[in-house]
């Protein structure tokens, strides 16, 4: 059984993704200029472009894809992360939007990291329930790319994100 507060499978590692023992897939976003690798039991759900417009943190984002684990979930795969783009925004805009989205939100950590080939910022925040929520944000090609990780899925999401590569070299 999975869900909020339920035990998860052991997290994957970057080494697992890189090994020859794991069947790999890849995700490539021409629209936002990046690619990453993932085990094939994780699937990408690409949203139709006409459905990208999405309000997130009370701002106009583009919700373009999600990553799901097909080995968990009774009828539907378990969500790992959502992928958003916020045109012309930067990390400080995201910081402010996160704080303004709910008076109970508290940013407990903001850390600049090298994730794969990307210079990202990892935000960990809490809300009224004090449950930590992780976002990885990346200023890339005029957009702020946001990887919003579902609760308890950091151990699956981060190794996948560590394989990220920009399409522009």
pLDDT average, residue stretch 139-160: 94
Q: Determine, yes or no, domain membership for 1.
A: no
Question: Residue 150 is part of which domain span?
Answer: 14-166
**Strands of 10-168, DSSP E:** 24-29, 34-39, 42-46, 53-56, 59-69, 78-87, 106-115, 118-126, 133-140, 143-149, 165-166
> pLDDT at position 21, please?
59
pLDDT in tens, 46-67: 999 999 999 999 999 999 999 9
Does some domain include residue 8?
no
The structure's pTM equals 0.88
Q: Is the pLDDT of residue 100 over 70?
A: yes
Q: Average pLDDT, stretch 26-50? A: 94
* Continuous segment of H or E residues that includes residue 72: none
The total domain count for the chain is 1
3 located within any domain: no
d(CA 136, CA 66): 14
pLDDT at position 75 over 70: yes
């Amino acid at each position: 059984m999975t869900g909020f507060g339920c035990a998860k499978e052991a997290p994957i590692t970057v080494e697992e993704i890189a090994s020859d023992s794991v069947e790999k897939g890849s995700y490539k976003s021409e629209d936002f200029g990046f690619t990453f690798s993932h085990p094939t039991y994780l699937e990408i759900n690409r949203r139709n472009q006409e459905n990208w417009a999405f309000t997130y943190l009370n701002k106009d984002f583009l919700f373009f894809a999600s990553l799901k684990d097909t080995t968990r979930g009774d009828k539907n795969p378990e969500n790992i992360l959502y992928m958003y783009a916020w045109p012309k925004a930067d990390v400080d805009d995201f910081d402010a939007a996160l704080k303004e989205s709910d008076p109970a939100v508290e940013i407990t950590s903001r850390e600049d990291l090298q994730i794969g080939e990307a210079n990202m910022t990892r935000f960990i925040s809490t809300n009224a329930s004090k449950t930590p929520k992780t976002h990885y944000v990346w200023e890339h090609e005029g957009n702020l790319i946001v990887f919003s990780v579902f609760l308890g899925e950091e151990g699956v999401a981060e190794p996948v994100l560590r394989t990220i590569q920009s399409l522009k070299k």
